[in-house]
Amino acid sequence: MQKNILIGVTGGIAAYKVVEVASLLKKSGANVKIIMTHNATEFVSPRTFQEITNNAVSVEMFGDTANFIHVEHIALADWADFMLIAPATANFLAKMAHGIADDLLSTTMLAFDKKILVCPAMNTKMFENTATQANLSTLKARGVKILEPAEGNLACGTVGKGRLPEPQEICAEIKKILSEEQILSGRKILVTAGGTVEPIDPVRYIGNRSSGRMGYEIAKAAVNAGAEVVLISGKSELEPPKNLKFIKVEAAIDMREAVLNEFDSVDAVIMSAAVADYRVKNVSAQKIKKSDENLTLELVKNPDILKELGSIKKNQVLIGFAAETQNILDYANKKLVEKNLDFIVANDVTAEGAGFGVPTNIATIIWRGGDVETFDKMSKADLAGKIIERVADLLSKDKKFFPLTSNH
Ligand code: PMT
């Protein structure tokens, strides 16, 4: 398992079992680093973890940052492919659920956007407390994986649910989660994102409100699923995701060229970019001077990139987006058919919490063949995960023309 695994150890008696977890992960080929809370150091010495992992153990928020190019919590969050929190105390679950960042571990969690497994371990009543259960539900809803505690003798002298599962069980769960992620291993995926910029003159352009968020999240999800990813981005202020080929373009015609250059070598294309349908016919070489007259710009049609892909595609899976403000399903369905897509993700860009700029989206997937899946409001990262699961399903089972049944 050639992964970078960051283990967060919080202050519970079961911390001693996590020494064995770190050792097993190391033996399986993973690189392991540890962050301990202050309370955790009351149960196990950082030196023990240091010897097991061959890496320095981090405890202090403002400790020695000599080994880090960025501040430590960002560097550790960037480094890790996966985070395990074990044992997770009730207090730490509450901090995670509420975004409290008051020490190195909780701060690192906020900067970490990949898979997390949490292993709660505590007294049964604390575990069953409504507050703890509500915090666990919040974390689950955000996609955090929870390994339920085992039943048995507890350190507090009672018998019940609350024991940290055995190290082998924790490692098996980590392997399962990491292998689930590799659903696009061996596949090449092309994602477009952001808005195209259609020049008027050297200083002005026609643009749109796309931030690139939706497409960047899809590209990240595809990378995390093991795919080789090409991200072709129009205008966006976001930092390009790591571990992919990033191509920046401006106008729709540049995006078309970049997409066509890659098309033959990819297994799937996901076009979430907001591509301008029109461009200025005569782009002025000089800044247009203000005059007393009104200004009329003649617009000509841009190529429809996705429609062109639909007409030349061989075995590629083709996914489109439909940004609509009315008659969502009708208009999206028309685009699905016209562009010869496998499915289209329709979003009502006027709905609150959906569409341009915001971190969430509300989507409906319409499948070739007519099946429809509706999704509640969710983060664009979560929606990206759903899209990637469906693309992987189409690719792995060659089910392009046999859509999944509804699964909300
Ligand atoms: O970037 P964010 O701020 O996160 O916002 C996300 C989003 C709203 C941009 C995204 O969810 C979205 O809806 N993207 C598609 C926007 C769009 O251009 O929709 P459309 O209905 O105009 O186009 C339909 C499909 O054809 C799209 O896949 C589009 O990429 C493609 N198209 C459109 C025009 C064109 N000339 N060529 C194309 O390939």
- Taking the centre of ligand 1 as the mean of its atom positions, its distance from the CA of residue 310, in whole angstroms, is 15
CA pair distance 128, 125, nearest whole angstrom: 5
Residue 408: per-residue pLDDT:
35
CB 348 within 8 A of CB 371: no
Q: Please indicate whether residue 273, judged by its CB atom, sits closer than 6 Å to ligand 1.
A: yes
Q: Report which protein residue has its CA nearest ligand 1's atom 26.
A: 306
Mutate to test the pocket of ligand 1, among 321, 343, 349, 386 (most ligand atoms within 8 A of CB): 321
Question: What are the pLDDT tens digits along the chain (408 aa)?
Answer: 668 999 999 999 999 999 999 999 999 999 999 999 999 999 999 999 999 999 999 999 887 555 555 577 888 999 999 999 999 999 999 999 999 999 999 999 999 998 999 999 999 999 999 999 999 999 999 989 999 999 988 777 888 889 999 999 999 999 888 876 689 999 999 999 999 999 999 999 999 999 999 999 999 999 989 899 999 999 999 999 988 999 999 999 999 999 999 999 999 999 999 999 999 999 999 999 999 999 999 999 999 999 999 999 999 999 999 999 999 999 999 999 999 999 999 999 999 999 999 999 999 999 999 999 999 999 999 899 999 999 999 998 654 444 433 333
Q: What is the DSSP-derived secondary structure letter of residue 43?
A: T
Q: Measured from the CA of 335, which atom of ligand 1 is nearest?
A: 24
Q: Please indicate whether residue 252, judged by its CB atom, sits closer than 6 Å to ligand 1.
A: yes
> Helix count (H) and strand count (E) of the chain?
13, 21
3-state secondary structure of 389: helix
Beta strands in 188-334 (DSSP E): 188-193, 198-199, 205-206, 228-233, 245-248, 268-271, 278-280, 299-301, 317-324
Angle 15-27/46-53 helices, nearest 10 degrees?
10
CA-nearest of 147, 95, 90 to 116 is 147
Q: Report which protein residue has its CA nearest ligand 1's atom 37.
A: 304
Q: Please indicate whether residue 218, judged by its CB atom, sits closer than 6 Å to ligand 1.
A: no
CA-nearest of 329, 335, 370, 359 to 347 is 329
CB 63 within 8 A of CB 38: no
CA pair distance 53, 55, nearest whole angstrom: 5
CB 272 within 8 A of CB 189: no
- Taking the centre of ligand 1 as the mean of its atom positions, its distance from the CA of residue 236, in whole angstroms, is 14
3-state secondary structure of 147: coil
CB 149 within 8 A of CB 159: no
CA pair distance 88, 379, nearest whole angstrom: 25
Q: Please indicate whether residue 383, judged by its CB atom, sits closer than 6 Å to ligand 1.
A: no
Q: Measured from the CA of 214, which atom of ligand 1 is nearest?
A: 4
Report, as residue numbers or ranges, the catalytic residues. 156
Residue 181: per-residue pLDDT:
65
Q: Please indicate whether residue 335, judged by its CB atom, sits closer than 6 Å to ligand 1.
A: yes
Q: Please indicate whether residue 274, judged by its CB atom, sits closer than 6 Å to ligand 1.
A: yes
Can you say how many angstroms the Cα of residue 23 is from the centroid of all Cα atoms in its chain? 29
- Taking the centre of ligand 1 as the mean of its atom positions, its distance from the CA of residue 195, in whole angstroms, is 8
Q: Measured from the CA of 322, which atom of ligand 1 is nearest?
A: 21
Q: Please indicate whether residue 214, judged by its CB atom, sits closer than 6 Å to ligand 1.
A: yes
- Taking only Cα atoms into account, the Rg of the chain, rounded to an integer number of angstroms, comes to 25
Q: Measured from the CA of 213, which atom of ligand 1 is nearest?
A: 4
Residue 153: per-residue pLDDT:
82
What would the pLDDT profile of 291-334 be if each residue is shown by its tens digit?
Answer: 999 999 999 999 999 999 999 999 999 999 999 999 999 999 99
Q: Report which protein residue has its CA nearest ligand 1's atom 34.
A: 275
Start-end of H helices in 264-379: 305-312, 328-338
CA-nearest of 301, 280, 98, 313 to 200 is 280
Q: How far is CA 140 from CA 10, 74, 341, 366, in A?
A: 19, 23, 33, 27
CA pair distance 249, 261, nearest whole angstrom: 13
Mutate to test the pocket of ligand 1, among 216, 231, 253, 275 (most ligand atoms within 8 A of CB): 275
Residue 65: per-residue pLDDT:
54
